[in-house]
Structure formats: C-alpha cells, structure tokens
Amino acid sequence: MIPLRRFRALILAVFLAACALHIMLDLLPKLGRRAARPSGEPGCSCAQPAAEAAAPGWAKARGRPGEPPAPASAAAGDSGWPNKHTLRILQDFSSDPSSNLTSHSLEKLPPAAEPAGGALRGPDPGAPRPRDPAHRPLLRDPGPRRSVPPPGPRGDGSLLARLFEHPLYQVAVPRLTEDDVLFHVNSDIRFHPKAAAESPGWPPGGPEDEAFLPTGEAAVDAYPNWLKFHLGINRYELYSRRSPAVEALLCDLGAQKITSVAMKSGGTQLKLIMTFQNYGQALFKPMKQTREQETPPDFFYFSDYERHNAEIAAFHLDRILDFRRVPPVAGRVINMTKEIRDVTRDKKLWRTFFISPANNVCFYGECSYYCSTEHALCGKPDQIEGSLAAFLPDLSLAKRKTWRNPWRRSYHKRKKAEWEVDPDYCEEVKQTPPYDGGQRILDLMDMTIFDFLMGNMDRHHYETFEKFGNETFIIHLDNGRGRFGKYSHDELSILVPLQQCCRVRKSTYLRLQLLAQEEYKLSLLMAESLRKDRVAPVLYQPHLDALDRRLRVVLRAVGGCVEKDGLHSVVHDDLDAEHRGSTQR
C-alpha cells in the first residue's frame, strides 16, 4: 500500500509542476511587456483595448484609417495578434493569396498626398492626423483622371443638364389615376413619436425626431428618402425625371449608418442585405474583379463573376436612356469589420470571417458556387468596395410577377436555345400572351438595347408589378453580369430579339440617334453622371468607348430593319398626343 501511495503522490506532484510551468510560460511575456512600459503608463496587463476584449478571438486591424498609430510599446504588445484562439480558428481557412481573385479588393490608384473618399476619413477630416511612416493609406486621391472627359465638348457647363432639357426628355407620362400609382398616401394615419421612442427598435434621438410635426403627424416631406422613392412608383416609371428623392437616396446609400447585415438566399454568388439606420434596405454586391480586368474569352456567360461597377453603371445608363426602370444604385467602401461582421446576426455569415496570410480581413458566406476560401472576399486590410442597390417595396405590400424571358439562353455548354436556331422565332413569340398585344414586345426591345450596350447575356427572367397587370414597364433588375469588363468584345447575339422582331419605340430610336451625336455623346454623358459616385471612376475609358461603339451597332441594326420592312412597320410612334399628356412630371 505504501509504494502505491507514493506513486500516486509522485504523479500528483508531476501534474502540479507541469501546471505551474505552463502558467509561468503564459505569464512571462506579459510580465516582460509590463516591465518594458514607461513608468508613466498604467500597468494594464491586457495588450488590447477594451473594445477588442469585448469581441474575443478578433484583433483590430493595425493602421486602420481614422485612428492614430499605436505607440511603440503598444505595438510590441500587439505583435502577437491575432491571439492564439483566433489562430486556431483560422488555421483551417487560410489559403494562398495568389489563388484569390479578391485578395486586392480595392484597386491601386496613383499615389497622392491625401486619402480620398469620405467613407475612409475619420470623424474630423480637417484635423491633422499623426502619421505612421510604415502605414500607407488604403485609398489615395487619384488626381486628374484620364478616364473622365470634360463635361461637354464646348466646356459650357453640365452636358447632362443640357440633355435633360432636350425636348425628347420633356415628354410627359399620361395623367395618373388612382389605378396608376403603386401606393396612396393616407393623410389620416398619424404617427406618434412617443410610442415609437418607447419601442426598443427605434433609434433614440437624432435627426429623426426633428422630422415629425408638433401634431404628431409625419409630413410626406419628412419621410425617409427610400419611402419617397417607393411612393413615386407608378405604372409608367420607377421614378420621375426630376424626382429629388432619387438623388437624396443615392447619397443615403453611400453614407447612411448600417445597422444590420444578412446574407441573401439563393443565387450563385454572395449578396448581402444591408439595413440602414432609417430602416431602408439595399442589396450589397462586393467587388470581385478590378475594373481593367477583362473576362477571359473561354469563360461561359453563366460562369462569369458579377461586377459591382456594372450595377452602378447600369443605373446611370438606364437614366440617360430615359427608361428609368433600374432602382437607384450607388458605390460605397465598406468597413468589413465594423459594418458587416460586428453588426450581423447571421451566424453562418459570421463564422466565415477569417484573417488571410496577408493580415487582411476576409469572408466568403454561403451561396451556390463562389462561396469558399478560394473565392473569399478580402479587404485592404478590412475595407472593401461594392455596390448598394435600393430595395423595391416589400412583396407583401407590392407583389411582383416574374416572367421568363422568351430569348432566355440555354445555360448549357453545348445546347442552344430555340431562338438561336429559328430565325422566325419572334413570330411565334408575338402570338403568345402578353406579347400579342400592348407594349410588352416594345419593352423587350428596350431591354435588348439596354443589355447590348452593357454586354449583359444573363437576362433569363424579368419582373413587373402585379398591380398594373400587363400594361406596365419591365423592371431592369440584376445587372451585375453586364460585361463592362469585356469592353473589347461586342456580343452580337444579344441583339437577336431586335433583329428578329424589327420593332422599336420612336422615342427610344430618336434618343439613340441623339446620343450618337458629338454634341450629346453617350460616353461623355456617362462619364459625367458617374463622376459623382463615391467609388469613381466607375468605368475606365475603354468601357466608355465601347458604349459609343455599341450604340452605332444598334443604330445600324435598326437601320437594316427599316430598309427591309419600312419605317412605319419598324418604328412604333409613342410620341403622339395621347402619350404626351398635359402635365409635365
């Protein structure tokens, strides 16, 4: 019995000695850092700020814009970030940065003296900041941009303003009736700010409180801009030409505080639903490829990446063409740490965050195809560029009907769609509702021209508002695969619907002819319109030149139809007195 007791005591002693040695090994570095501190500093044993301690397993990215660089002693204490727990989590997710197309999610711009972009500046942009010689700002002012031409050929002010004053952009929509508007403003409904303030979801204080009248009613002018945009939707347009809510909404998309983030279900690529402080929502598409990066010629259209700058450019192109069927889209630089990871309640999204070998914050989310460590989205170090598209009204309030595009592609490597092998396919389409009457076939021709100018081969479906039946416009959604990245190639198969049907609106045809003139050149108008965006330049000069080239191709296609079938058979006159109306909107 005595030898057994001694053996047990020996085992216990060895265990205690091992524990003591382990504790000493953990404490020695901290004691060394404490001894290395100047005598005036408080002897805090934690090397990270309290804000970081509240989120275990994550360390704040060093050299973040808007924050002063850490002192040498703090840098020494932070040399081990991320901590051991984080490293253990990240071991399974690390990958070779060279295999990641998004490891450089912000483009390298020419160096200058000051950082650009209000989203990257600190709270006081005018105050001088201490600079760390080892730290380089994420974005620098690119200086004079060669890709942005002057406002107009004569240098006499805004070319866009002159375009919108042209008679073709003064044509009014028909007078609206109660059945022609998507929503009606009920002036009898009162809003009680006291009751809303007691709700835990209502943000306390702030400019929202100033928006309500003393009577407790909310004036229409005090509605958030996303709601004004929704209230402006009618049978003929998503927004009117001179709607101030659209410009204000574009500013909100680029500046409003993000309060929550969630992944959007469905789709082949990752998209995030972002909710703002004013309860508006937008769809975020992150940057996956640089602007000058062309789609490889061996890529199928259905395997190409969605481009965030294509979404932004599509909105501006749609407005210049006077379709007004694309919801407002704006570019923005997002802080992946503060504006995605720290505000999301989506655990599936949160778990995909990791630190790359280059010390950049990355995540990949969940989707059908491009959501893995090999296709992760990485910041520099945690800043990523993307597009934010304003949401349309909720489906519970305004139902939308989804239609299969008659000229949908096969989405197959070998098979071809029927329209690709049947030259008389349009005659069959025109005998099928809703294309056998009304304006729908003309809407499809507008969409065909719009897609060809962008190079979008991915228009498999389209949507309309159910309330308006078949007599309404087509909503141009999901333009991310517009091949502004393939500016050296014009995909002529996109124009097949126009060539087969040989139908076009007179207003569309005349505007295309106007935009082909040197005085109102499409590339100049696009450059001016895109210049206001926060991630400008959105398109480079080769993209803009491609727009002018493709516009000439469209006009040649319509001209060929006119020679074959005659002007009156091809061009539908929608500019008569019945369409002009009497009220300019």
Residues that are catalytic: 458
Strand extents, DSSP E, 219-378? 258-263, 272-276, 281-286, 329-335, 354-355, 361-363, 377-378
Contact call for residues 481 and 456 (beta carbons, < 8 A): yes
With both helix axes pointing from N to C terminus, report the angle between 541-565 and 506-515 in degrees, rounded to the nearest 10: 130
How many of the other CB atoms lie within 10 Å of CB of 372?
14
Contact call for residues 219 and 193 (beta carbons, < 8 A): no
Nearest to 482 by CA among 329, 377, 322, 334: 329
Contact call for residues 336 and 350 (beta carbons, < 8 A): no
Cα 103 from Cα 289, distance rounded (Å): 10
Category of 243 on φ-ψ map: left (φ > 0), alpha (ψ -120 to 50) or beta? beta
Category of 279 on φ-ψ map: left (φ > 0), alpha (ψ -120 to 50) or beta? left
The DSSP annotation for 370-395 comes to S-SGGG-EE-SSSEEEEEEEEPPPPT
End-to-end, the C-alpha distance of the chain in Å comes to 102
The DSSP annotation for 230-247 comes to HHT-BSS-SS-TT-HHHH
Q: Which amino acid is at 175?
A: R
Cα 19 from Cα 27, distance rounded (Å): 12
Cα 283 from Cα 263, distance rounded (Å): 10
Nearest to 310 by CA among 285, 335, 334: 285
Question: Which tokens sit at 55?
Answer: 């989120």
Cα 582 from Cα 585, distance rounded (Å): 10
Category of 264 on φ-ψ map: left (φ > 0), alpha (ψ -120 to 50) or beta? beta
Phi, psi of 431 (to 5 degrees): -100, 5
Dihedral over alpha carbons 301, 306, 308, 313 (to 10 degrees): 20
Q: Long-range contact list for 219-224, CB < 8 A, 24+ apart?
A: 220/185, 224/252, 224/278, 224/279, 224/280
Which residue's structure tokens are 């096969």?
410
Half-sphere exposure of 418 (CA within 13 A, CB side): 9
Cα 124 from Cα 129, distance rounded (Å): 10
Nearest to 59 by CA among 47, 69, 67: 47
Phi, psi of 403 (to 5 degrees): -120, 140
* SS3 state at 263: strand
Which residue's structure tokens are 């406002």?
151
Cis amide prior to 296 (ω within 30 degrees): no
Q: Residue 120, Cα to own-chain centre: how many angstroms? A: 17
